[in-house]
Amino acid sequence: MTILEKMEDIEKSLPKDQSIDYLANKELILNILELRERKNVLILGHNYMAPLVYQLSNENQRGDSLALSRYAARANNLIILFDGVRFMAETAKILNPEKKVLIADLAAGCSLADNFSAKDVLDYKNRYPGVPIVTYINSYAEVKAESDYCCTSANGLDVILHAAKEYNKDKVIFIPDSLMGENLQDDLDNNGHKIDLIYPGKYDEKFARCEVHEMIKPEDIKNIRLQYNMQKGAKDTAVIVHPECLKETVEEADFSGSTSAMTKYVRNHSELKKVYLGTECEMTSNMAAEFPGIEFIKTCNVFCQHMRRINLEKILYSLQNEVYEIHVDEDVRKKARLSIDRMLEIGK
Ligand code: CIZ
Ligand code: SF4
């Protein structure tokens, strides 16, 4: 696709309410695409990016953090710009050490990753010797390096079951997300698995939550159902929430899953006419652009301050100067890689 064709494609693919934004930022977008081409950069776009940023990436180069990192590993580009938060770009670097991985703002954090250190993992290890540690992908390399397995919101249950079997234990440690831990324990119980999942906050005072998803309360879901006539279990409507939400919120939903699972759910239910997504708000904008036949309820004002740090101006600056590169200590990287590889093996 030529740059002009890509510009036309972006304009066409944007949600209707963004056409003025497109015109206002046209030159910036053009400059970014020219640099992308000249420097042969792979631009990866996470599902939570604002539509103008999201559309900079080609269709198959958008998605969740793991799918994007895997995509990066297959690509030939020597420079990767990861439009997402820092732990995601770091995961791409762990899987692609020989490539230069850039992020438009190194301060793009995450309330889950930022509140959990390698020392916290070691504390769990000391308290529960021999119990396998499954670490959510929303964590930094030093934390992954001290863990036995990595997991994502798409495969958490499978990885936990595998870890319990492999270590012959009825206990598994899951870090750092307290709310997802609670939701996973529920999944285990509901599916008849007698596994005690040890997550922060269950038996101790430590706690980590996604500051975005914890804002979506069960009463919000009830109100949306009433206001938009979306009964639980109805065929043509769906309330879908992320497993980083409160357990009580998940219980009110029709389905709970990772961003990739949300997309898959909508794609596989062609009868859907109205959908509410309980997650970062930009995901709703991006889904609305992808599924124009469905009405997406956008009542929320739930944005991630970290994701919002990634904007067109900073992307251009990073590409122009090849700055804000992700570095990971090689010993840490190798150990972190092991936990990711052990997860990928399970998915095979
Ligand atoms: O792994 C990701 O991309 C995250 C953090 C969210 C999701 O559910 O896809
Ligand atoms: Fe972290 Fe939540 Fe923001 Fe995702 S949405 S980056 S989990 S704070």
* pLDDT at residue 302, as a whole number: 87
Distances in Å between the Cα of 171 and the Cα atoms of 10, 11, 194, 283 are 48, 51, 9, 34
> Does the pLDDT of residue 347 top 80, yes or no?
no
pTM score > 0.85 for this model? yes
Q: Which ligand is nearest to the CA of 211?
A: 2
The C-alpha atoms of residue 56 and residue 84 are separated, in whole angstroms, by 13
| C-alpha of residue 12 to centroid of ligand 1, in Å | 26
* pLDDT at residue 348, as a whole number: 64
> Is 279 near ligand 2, meaning CB less than 6 Å away?
no
Assigned token pair, 107 = 């301060």
CA nearest 232: which of 257, 258, 251, 213? 251
Assigned token pair, 159 = 């990885």
CB atoms within 10 A of CB 234: 16
Chain-centre distance for alpha carbon 259: 7
Taking the CA atoms of residue 297, residue 59, residue 74 and residue 150 in that order, the dihedral angle to the nearest 10 degrees is 0
CA nearest 328: which of 69, 41, 40, 48? 69
Q: Which ligand is nearest to the CA of 308?
A: 2
Assigned token pair, 180 = 């997802």
Q: What percent of the chain has pLDDT over 90?
A: 95
Residues in contact with ligand 1 by the CB-under-6-Å rule are 46, 64-66, 137-138, 152-153, 242, 258-260
Which helix (DSSP H) or strand (DSSP E) does residue 100 occupy?
A: strand 100-102
The pLDDT tens digits for 134-169 are: 999 999 999 999 999 999 999 999 999 999 999 999
Q: Which atom of ligand 1 is nearest to the CA of 138?
A: 5
Determine which residue's CA is closest to atom 4 belonging to ligand 2: 110
Determine which residue's CA is closest to atom 7 belonging to ligand 2: 210
> Does the pLDDT of residue 18 top 90, yes or no?
no
Q: Which atom of ligand 1 is nearest to the CA of 243?
A: 8
* pLDDT at residue 221, as a whole number: 97
The pLDDT tens digits for 84-123 are: 999 999 999 999 999 999 999 999 999 999 999 999 999 9
* pLDDT at residue 300, as a whole number: 67
* pLDDT at residue 25, as a whole number: 97
The pLDDT tens digits for 249-300 are: 999 999 999 999 999 999 999 999 999 999 999 999 999 999 999 999 987 6
Q: What is the mean pLDDT of residues 165-176?
A: 98
Q: What is the mean pLDDT of residues 40-56?
A: 98
The C-alpha atoms of residue 4 and residue 157 are separated, in whole angstroms, by 44
Q: Which amino acid is at 84?
A: G
> Does the pLDDT of residue 206 top 70, yes or no?
yes
> Is 242 near ligand 2, meaning CB less than 6 Å away?
no
| C-alpha of residue 158 to centroid of ligand 2, in Å | 22
Q: Which ligand is nearest to the CA of 302?
A: 2
Average pLDDT value for the chain:
96
* pLDDT at residue 92, as a whole number: 96
